Structure 1
């Protein structure tokens, strides 16, 4: 197929009639990359779960775990850069003089990815002039571990992979007065963000806790999608 034929396939399949369509673009590569019809994040569900079913209930250990605290959850985190941040013990609310046998120790588990928008099939004229919507979505478990169990920080970066052109942060507070063990959705749409965007940096943190066993907050369905419309 000629380049013009590949371009027509892209326009017809994704509705790009109003977008800039320069001849300098390798339209065969764009079509094969399919940047408008797939999640650009890798390994969006490391726990093998989906939001279509409730999160699994935690298994209570038959005997308390007396071993050293654990702060990294089990899962296939390929495609993610991960790190764990152990938090100080929280002794607030404990009466003075009370005998403390053991306190829960919490940690943040951070997972992040960077999406190279040109590498996945987008082109500069589209990103700078047309500025298609960049749609972010994520789902996290209501683990009831703490009133703060989830954080999301997404940044649109320039060509140097450092300059921040736009960003969005979520840091919700959980209502612990009612038990609810479901998935909670988080979403945001970047639009009209200005020229120069070349990367999407996706970072979220979920809280874990160790007390006679390891308890973590899971996530699923993380996504970065490009809407071919403004």
Structure 2
């Protein structure tokens, strides 16, 4: 078998070119002969880039193209990895248009969105993080994730809707509820906001609204008393704001309808790192079994809305209506005190 007329040159760094005579340029590319190139296609032919093929910086792309690229980069990577690269990237990543596009792409807003937004970047992150911070709110996993603070009488129990002498829940996707007994039954969850993805500057500077909701109902044939307490606490468990309305007593022979209780924490002091949610109660007839208030579909949601004034500079918040006096709690367990 005759040998190749152009044996490969292993020292040539250039890429192969096929179908080209040695030394003939094609499209600004010079093809080398057997003295110049290794074999990647046709033996003995390779190509060398001319200055026209030199690497182009991504920063030479039009800004609208760069913005489109950034739209598809995960938000945290944009801030942590991309923004520090150069002043051009920093300025583009801070542009309002980028965060509007990302919000639209994620479905956080629609094309005809007309509500005012103070900071689109913060709006995007708050929408991304928005979810119910309470685990197992509808008893689908029995008592999992709940801390039992008080378990008197016949203790906590999980039942299926509508239950004896009960009514259907307004949301048909909710199938179960927790029910109390003739002795005080209380359960709680302690939410760690930093562990849930909310960083200190977001919480302290912007202080987004925190919306708390709970649903409760009585049996039609038995009265009951319902309790709820929600507290915002610092990293070392100083209570900064509290929602603790008077207990709700429902008389015997009621309509057994589900009732919603809701509270929004707005313009709270800086330093919030934990949220304690506690609820429960007992029946008023002291009947053996599970005749106390029923609770389900509880939620804590950090909103994308911010109803606030400038953060105060004082170290300790003043006592206001709906807030308890600041009290230091030495450990998380002390937050689970009964009513």
Shared fold per TM-score greater than 0.5: yes
- Give the C-alpha shift of residue 9 in structure 1: 6.6
Residue in 2 that maps onto 1:186: 261
Match of 1:202 among 277, 280, 304: 277
Residue in 2 that maps onto 1:223: 299
**Which structure ranks higher in relative contact order (CA pairs < 8 Å, sequence separation ≥ 6)?**
1
- Give the C-alpha shift of residue 203 in structure 1: 0.6
Distance 1:214 1:178 in 2: 16
CA contact (8 A) 1:142 1:182 kept: yes
Match of 1:18 among 81, 98, 119: 119
Residue in 1 that maps onto 2:144: 78
Residue in 2 that maps onto 1:44: 137
Residue in 2 that maps onto 1:174: 249
- Give the C-alpha shift of residue 20 in structure 1: 6.9
Find the structure with the greater CA-based Rg: 2
- Give the C-alpha shift of residue 142 in structure 1: 2.1
CA contact (8 A) 1:153 1:170 kept: yes
CA contact (8 A) 1:79 1:113 kept: yes
Label 1:175 to 1:216 Cα distance change in 2 as closer, same or farther (>3 A).
closer
Deviations 1:74-113, CA, capped at 9 Å, x for gaps: x8010100133548xxxxxxxxxxxxxxxxx821111100
Label 1:81 to 1:42 Cα distance change in 2 as closer, same or farther (>3 A).
same
Which structure shows the higher strand fraction?
Answer: 1
Residue in 1 that maps onto 2:214: 138
Mark the runs of 5 or more structure 2 residues left unpaired by the alignment.
1-72, 81-92, 110-116, 154-180, 307-339
Residue in 2 that maps onto 1:94: none
Distance 2:246 2:274 in 1: 23
Of 10-19 and 136-145, more deviation after overlay is shown by 10-19
- Give the C-alpha shift of residue 122 in structure 1: 1.2
Residue in 1 that maps onto 2:129: 35
SS at the partner of 1:174?
A: strand
How many residues were matched structurally?
Answer: 175
- Give the C-alpha shift of residue 177 in structure 1: 6.6
Which structure shows the higher helix fraction?
Answer: 2
Label 1:141 to 1:4 Cα distance change in 2 as closer, same or farther (>3 A).
same
Label 1:41 to 1:169 Cα distance change in 2 as closer, same or farther (>3 A).
same
CA contact (8 A) 1:19 1:126 kept: no
Residue in 2 that maps onto 1:164: 239
Question: Are residues 1:128 and 2:204 paired?
Answer: yes
Distance 1:79 1:199 in 2: 16
SS at the partner of 1:149?
A: strand
RMSD: 3.2
CA contact (8 A) 1:20 1:125 kept: no
Distance 1:19 1:159 in 2: 28
Residue in 2 that maps onto 1:101: none
